[in-house]
Amino acid sequence: MYEYQESNRYFAQVADDIKDITEAELKSFGAENIEKAYKGVFFTGSQEVLYKINLQSCLINRVLAPLISFNCSSEDQLYKSAYQINWENLISIDNTIAIYASVSQSNITHSKFAALKLKDAIVDRFRNLTGERPSVDTRDPDIWLNLHIDNNIAVISLDTSGGSLHRRSYRKESVAAPMVETLAASIIKISGWDGSRPLYDPLCGSGTLLCEAYLHITKTPPAILRTKFGFEKLPDFNETLWRKVRHDVLNNITPIEKGFIAGSDASQDAVKSALKNCSVIDEKNTIEIKQINMFDIHEIKNKTIVCNPPYGIRLKKNEDLSGFYKQLGDFLKQKCSGSTAYIYFGDRMYLKTIGLRPSMKMPLANGGLDGRLARFELY
Ligand SMILES: C[S@@+](CC[C@H](N)C(=O)[O-])C[C@H]1O[C@@H](n2cnc3c(N)ncnc32)[C@H](O)[C@@H]1O
């Protein structure tokens, strides 16, 4: 029996800044005993809860099911312990595998080397038992294994998501600085947007915030386009239960009116990619997108505004956008009365130049950048 089968305990990998909202999200799917940890959250839950989380979470990157833990103070010990595991119960010769490792405060200090040792142990065991071995595919393997060594204790887990859930598969075309899907989803969650008024993104780029708003409000599961999950490879995978979970969730999708979610961008290429990306999930094209310079928009009144303005670091190094942010602040003040704006600042220094006092601001990292999300009530 593997560890997760005895404890029903899993580890959800999630960005540190959004652990609080992840806790609420996990509870809504029926998870219990939630414990925040470094770069993630532990929880317990039934198989049904595990399937629901993988299908419906908009915040979590991966859910790991721990298989086995052991003392691991040397490479030799890692190899020998890993070699003893009955990998044949989990992996077949025809499967492809990938191994991701992380190490902290341990004698083994190189994660890539640790991953290689584990791979060698698995492959050698298969070769010695059968004369054949599974192959490695780091891009789209059948089975993703995760090795975490902390304080010389190794935990090997199976990634039940089967690759990061932030990849929703709707991004067919991109722009210069697209937002990570889980970050966009957290902005929509934090905004508390409940569909009681329309939502608008005047700097929509490739449309990530629009897509995440659509998934949220229509209750479309973020992993709707995913064709395979890692949990399907667990020895106790219950296909009937999984079909039921998926069927019930898909039955709950609620359509919205055309134009209720809308956006625009000054760039023709951005609009083209946003239209393409949105149409992947919004087949009826209810999301409206047009090409217009934000400052030429007549007004955006009584709406929830979300946007992610340009920020020098990822676009052009050391570009000073103070003038742009000042103009953005003036636009919000003069043309957006009755709206609430959630602006994501990739570079927090521009919070000072926008000339508006936020009613809320919070750190929200974006791929290592120290970003901020700020809320502005516009009267
Ligand atoms: C950081 S990107 C937004 C990325 C977007 N959230 C995504 O996920 O793809 C900023 C966008 O603002 C647009 N932009 C910059 N200045 C603008 C303006 N004055 N009016 C409208 N769009 C503008 C750019 O074309 C760019 O697509």
Please tell me the distance from the alpha carbon of residue 301 to that of residue 202, in angstroms, as a whole number: 13
Distances 285 to 18, 63, 229, 300, 311 between C-alpha atoms, Å: 30, 32, 28, 21, 29
Q: Give, using CA atoms, the residue closest to atom 13 of ligand 1.
A: 203
Average pLDDT over residues 367-378: 92
Residue 147 shares a structural domain with residue 204: no
For ligand 1, the distance from its centroid to the CA atom of residue 212, given in whole angstroms, is: 16
Average pLDDT over residues 18-43: 97
Please tell me the distance from the alpha carbon of residue 53 to that of residue 29, in angstroms, as a whole number: 6
Average pLDDT over residues 11-20: 96
Tell me how crowded residue 194 is: count the other CB atoms within 10 A of its CB. Answer: 9
Residue 233 lies in a domain: no
Residue 143 shares a structural domain with residue 209: no
Please report the pLDDT score of residue 318 as a whole number: 58
CATH assignment of the domain containing 149: 3.30.2130.30
Which numbered atom of ligand 1 lies nearest the CA of 296?
20
307 Cβ closer than 6 Å to some ligand 1 atom: no
Please report the pLDDT score of residue 320 as a whole number: 80
Q: Give, using CA atoms, the residue closest to atom 25 of ligand 1.
A: 267
Residue 346 shares a structural domain with residue 205: yes
Inter-residue contact 79 to 244 (CB < 8 Å): no
Inter-residue contact 229 to 144 (CB < 8 Å): no
Please report the pLDDT score of residue 319 as a whole number: 67
Q: Both tokens of residue 94?
A: 């025809």
Residue 230 lies in a domain: no
CATH assignment of the domain containing 214: 3.40.50.150
Distances 337 to 5, 299, 331, 353, 379 between C-alpha atoms, Å: 54, 8, 10, 20, 5
Residue 192 lies in a domain: yes
Please spell the DSSP secondary structure of 227-290, one letter per residue.
---GGGGSTT--HHHHHHHHHHHHHT-----TTSEEEEES-HHHHHHHHHHHHHH-TT--SEEE
Counting ligand 1 atoms within 8 A of each CB, the residue from 203, 210, 267, 325 with the most, and so the one to mutate, is: 203
Average pLDDT over residues 270-281: 97
371 Cβ closer than 6 Å to some ligand 1 atom: no
| Residue that has been written with the tokens 């086995």 in this structure | 68
Residue 149 shares a structural domain with residue 188: no
For ligand 1, the distance from its centroid to the CA atom of residue 203, given in whole angstroms, is: 4
Tell me how crowded residue 340 is: count the other CB atoms within 10 A of its CB. Answer: 19
Counting ligand 1 atoms within 8 A of each CB, the residue from 175, 296, 343 with the most, and so the one to mutate, is: 175
Q: Which helix (H) or strand (E) holds 149?
A: strand 143-150
Structural domains of the chain, count? 2
**pLDDT reading at 251 higher than 60:** yes
Residue 171 lies in a domain: no
Residue 189 shares a structural domain with residue 271: yes
| Span 131-180, pLDDT tens digits | 999 999 999 999 999 999 999 999 999 999 999 999 999 999 887 778 99
Tell me the percentage of the chain whose pLDDT exceeds 70: 98
Which numbered atom of ligand 1 lies nearest the CA of 346?
1
158 Cβ closer than 6 Å to some ligand 1 atom: no
| Residue that has been written with the tokens 């009267």 in this structure | 379
263 Cβ closer than 6 Å to some ligand 1 atom: no
Distances 154 to 98, 104, 180 between C-alpha atoms, Å: 17, 10, 30
pLDDT band at 128 (very low <50, low <70, confident <90, very high): very high
Q: Both tokens of residue 264?
A: 């625009």
179 Cβ closer than 6 Å to some ligand 1 atom: yes
For ligand 1, the distance from its centroid to the CA atom of residue 223, given in whole angstroms, is: 26
Pairing verdict, β 153-159 and 143-150:
antiparallel
Residue 229 lies in a domain: no
**pLDDT reading at 230 higher than 70:** yes
Domain with 35, as residue range(s), is 3-159
| Residue that has been written with the tokens 């569909």 in this structure | 195
| Residue that has been written with the tokens 């929880």 in this structure | 43
322 Cβ closer than 6 Å to some ligand 1 atom: no
Residue 26 lies in a domain: yes
Residue 197 shares a structural domain with residue 145: no
Residue 151 shares a structural domain with residue 205: no
Residue 76 identity: D
Please tell me the distance from the alpha carbon of residue 218 to that of residue 375, in angstroms, as a whole number: 24
Residue 27 shares a structural domain with residue 103: yes
Instruction: Report the residue count for the chain.
Output: 379
Average pLDDT over residues 269-285: 97
Residue 123 shares a structural domain with residue 206: no
| Span 282-321, pLDDT tens digits | 999 999 999 999 999 999 999 999 999 998 654 455 568 9
Which numbered atom of ligand 1 lies nearest the CA of 315?
1
Average pLDDT over residues 82-105: 95
Residue 224 lies in a domain: no
Please tell me the distance from the alpha carbon of residue 170 to that of residue 223, in angstroms, as a whole number: 10
For ligand 1, the distance from its centroid to the CA atom of residue 153, given in whole angstroms, is: 46
Please tell me the distance from the alpha carbon of residue 336 to that of residue 273, in angstroms, as a whole number: 26
Please report the pLDDT score of residue 176 as a whole number: 77
Please report the pLDDT score of residue 132 as a whole number: 94
For ligand 1, the distance from its centroid to the CA atom of residue 309, given in whole angstroms, is: 6
Q: Give me the chain's average pLDDT, please.
A: 95
Residue 188 shares a structural domain with residue 138: no
Q: Give, using CA atoms, the residue closest to atom 1 of ligand 1.
A: 310
Q: Give, using CA atoms, the residue closest to atom 27 of ligand 1.
A: 205
For ligand 1, the distance from its centroid to the CA atom of residue 326, given in whole angstroms, is: 16
Please report the pLDDT score of residue 174 as a whole number: 81
> Strands, DSSP E only, in 171-260?
199-201
Which numbered atom of ligand 1 lies nearest the CA of 201?
6
**pLDDT reading at 357 higher than 90:** yes
For ligand 1, the distance from its centroid to the CA atom of residue 121, given in whole angstroms, is: 48
Average pLDDT over residues 86-93: 94
| Phi, psi (deg, nearest 5) at residue 221 | -65, 130
295 Cβ closer than 6 Å to some ligand 1 atom: yes
Residue 176 lies in a domain: no
Crossing angle for the helix pair 181-191 and 19-28, to the nearest 10 degrees: 80
Q: Give, using CA atoms, the residue closest to atom 26 of ligand 1.
A: 205
Residue 150 shares a structural domain with residue 261: no
| Residue that has been written with the tokens 């993630």 in this structure | 40
What letter would DSSP give residue 371?
-
Query: Exposure string (b/e) for 146-182, b if CB count within 10 Å is 16 or more?
Result: bbbbeebebbbbbbbbbbebbbbebbeeebebbbbbb
Please report the pLDDT score of residue 277 as a whole number: 97
| Residue that has been written with the tokens 């239209």 in this structure | 275
Residue 98 shares a structural domain with residue 193: no
Which numbered atom of ligand 1 lies nearest the CA of 208?
8
| Residue that has been written with the tokens 């000054």 in this structure | 266
